[in-house]
Chain A
Amino acid sequence: MRETIGITGGAARTWLRAVTGIAGAFAVLDQYIGVVMTFALGAVIVLGMVSGSMIFGARSTSRRAIKDEVFECGNPSTGPARGRFAVHFYLVAILFIVFDVEVVFMYPWAIIFRQLGIPGLIEMLTFVAILGFGLAYVWKRGALAWN
C-alpha cells in the first residue's frame, strides 16, 4: 500500500514538474496573449460575417437549376471550369519561393548588421551578388517575360 502511494506521489511530482516546465515554456509566449485574443475575436467576427447571408439571406426554390449556373455571358457554360492555365504562373510561384526564402535570410542579418560591421556588409554583398546573378539568369532566359 505504501509502495503504491509512494509511486503515485512520485508520479504526481513528475507530472507537476512537467506541467510547470510547460507553463514555464509558455511564459515566453506571454506576449502572444494579445495575438490569441485577436485570433479568437477576429475568427468570431469574420465567421459571423461570412455566414450572415446563409442564415438571414433570402432563399428561393424556383428555377434552381438556372440560378445555380456559373456566370457566363448569356450562354450555358460548357466544359470544365478548372482547365489548363499558362505554365508561366507556375514559374512565378517557383521563383517566388526561391527569392522569398532569401529575403527571410536577410532579416536576421539586418537586425545585427551594426554589430557585424564591414565584414557583415561584405558577406551580404556576396549573398546579394549571387542572388542578383540568379535574377539576371532567369531574366535572360525569359522567365520574367510575358507575351
Chain B
Amino acid sequence: MELIAVGIAGVKALLVLLMVLSLSAMLLWVERKGSALIQDRIGANRANIFGVLPFNLGFVNTLIADPLKLLTKEDMVPAGADKFLHFLAPFLAVFPVLVTFAAVPFGDQLVIGDTVINLQVADLDIGILYVLAMSSLAVYGVVLGGWASNSRWALLGGIRGSAQMISYEIAMGLALIGAVMAFGTLDLQAIARAQGYHFFGVIPAWGIIYQPLGFLIFLIAGIAETKRVPFDLPEGESELIAGFFTEYSGMKQAAFMLSDFAESVVVAGLATTLFFGAWQVPFLFREGFHFPGGVVVAVPHLLVVALQFVSFIVKVFALCVFQILVRWTLPRYRYDQVMDLGWKYLLPLALANMLVTGVVIVLLG
C-alpha cells in the first residue's frame, strides 16, 4: 500500500515536472514567434526534419533543435572563476523553480476503482508558504552566477538581480495575504475547491473577484521576480552583456534561460490557482455541468477530470502569453524606478490591500 502511494507520488511528480518543462519550451517558441509578430518579422522558420517536410515544424525548434545544439557547445568556465559555484548556480536557478510546482493542484481528484488520487503532487497544508519558500531560493542562482564568474558584468547583474528579487518578494508575500484571508487557508487544493461556487448562480467565485488589487500587485511582483522586461535590469543586454549569465555557455546558459520561462509558468500557475479558479471550469461540478436555469448535463468522471486539467493548462498558458505580451510591449525601467515601484508603491499598496480586506471581511461578518 505504502509502495503504491510512493509510486503514485512519483508518477505525479514526473508528470508535473514534464508539464512545466514542456510548457517552458513551448513558451520559448511562442515568445520567438510572438516577438517576431509584434516586431513585424518572420521569426524562427527553419525547423524541419532533414528538410523533407513542406511546412515549418514550429516548436520542434525549441524542444529538440535548440537543446541539441546547446548540448554540443563547449562548456566555458572563465579563468579565475569559482568552478564549483559556477556549476552550482544554474542548478540553483532551475531546481527551486521546478519543484515549486509540487504544491500546485492541476486537477480535483481522479477516482479509479476505490483509489482516490488527489491531482496534486504534494497535498501540503502550508502550500502557499512552500511555494514562496521555494521560489525565493531562486535568488541564489542569480547571485552565485554573478559572483562565481569572476566578471564585472556578471557581478553587477547578480547584485542588481538579488536586490530586485528580494525587494519584490516582500510585495509578493504581502499581496498573497489578502487572498489567504479571503480563503482562510494556505492549502492550495482547498483554495482551488473554494472557488467552485458561483455568485448569484452566474459569476464564478474566482479569487480575482475578492482580490483584484491583490492580483495586480502579485502579477507585477511576479514579473519582476522572473527578471523579465520591463524589469530585466539584472540581464540588461544593452548595458551588462547578459548580466549574471554572461560567462555561461551551452546547457548551463540554457538552464538560466529555462529558469526564466519556468518562473513565468510558476507565476502563471500560482495566479491561476489563487485568482482564476485553478482547475475549475465554470458550472462544471463533479458529476457534470449545472448551468444557470436548472439545466443539468451529466459528464462522465474521466471527462470531468480531463476538462479540469485542460482548463488549468489553458489558464496558465493564457497568463504566460500575457506576460510575453507585456515583455514585448513595455520598455525597460531605470533601476531607481524599479526599486521605487517595489518599495514605495507596491509595498504600501499591498499593506493597504490587506487592511481593507480585513475591514471588509469584518464588516460582512
Contact = CB atoms under 8 A, between A and B. Distances in A.
A22 interface: no
Interface string A32-63: 11111111011101110111111011111000
B354 interface: yes
Interface in A1-51: 30-39, 41-43, 45-47, 49-51
Contacts of A37: 6, 9-10, 12-13, 121
B194 interface: no
Contacts of A58: 72-74
Contacts of B359: 121
A144 to B, nearest CB: 5
A68 B12 contact: no
Interface in A99-138: 99-100, 103-104, 106-107, 110-111, 113-114, 117-118, 121, 124-125, 128, 131-132, 135
B71 A57 contact: yes
A36 B6 CA distance: 10
Given A39-B99, A113-B361, A71 B90 contact: no
A57 B125 CA distance: 44
Chain A, interface size category, equals: 35 or more
A145 B339 CA distance: 9
Contacts of A147: 336
B267 to A, nearest CB: 18
B355 A128 contact: yes
Given A34-B123, A41-B17, A111 B79 contact: no
B75 A81 contact: no
Interface in B315-365: 335-336, 339-340, 343-344, 347-348, 351, 354-355, 358-359, 361-362
A107 B126 CA distance: 10
Contact of A68 (B76, B102, B122, B246): B76
A69 B153 CA distance: 13
Contacts, number: 224
Specify which of B71, B81, B120, B128 lies most central, judged by the most chain A CB atoms within 10 Å of its CB: B71
B63 to A, nearest CB: 14
A70 B150 contact: yes
Specify which of A68, A81, A100, A147 lies most central, judged by the most chain B CB atoms within 10 Å of its CB: A81
A50 B121 contact: no
A53 B174 CA distance: 40
Given A93-B163, A96-B169, A49 B254 contact: yes
B155 A82 contact: yes
B72 A56 contact: yes
Nearest to B10: A37
Contacts of B123: 31, 34
Contact of B177 (A41, A103, A125): A103
A145 to B, nearest CB: 8
Given A33-B6, A68-B78, A111-B184, A49 B17 contact: no
B128 to A, nearest CB: 8
B251 A38 contact: no
B122 A146 contact: no
B48 interface: no
A100 B169 contact: yes
B170 A34 contact: no
Nearest to B181: A110
B14 A41 contact: yes
A56 B71 contact: yes
Nearest to B334: A146
B142 to A, nearest CB: 13
Interface string B257-278: 0100000000000000000000
Contacts of A30: 5
A142 interface: no
Interface of A: 30-39, 41-43, 45-47, 49-54, 56-60, 65, 67-71, 77, 81-83, 85, 89, 92-93, 95-96, 99-100, 103-104, 106-107, 110-111, 113-114, 117-118, 121, 124-125, 128, 131-132, 135, 139, 144-147
9 contacts: A33-B6, A35-B99, A57-B71, A68-B77, A68-B78, A83-B152, A85-B156, A106-B354, A145-B336
Given A59-B75, A65-B79, A71-B246, 20 more contacts: A31-B125, A32-B124, A34-B121, A38-B121, A50-B252, A53-B249, A57-B73, A57-B251, A59-B74, A70-B80, A70-B247, A77-B151, A93-B162, A93-B163, A104-B173, A106-B177, A107-B177, A128-B354, A139-B344, A144-B339
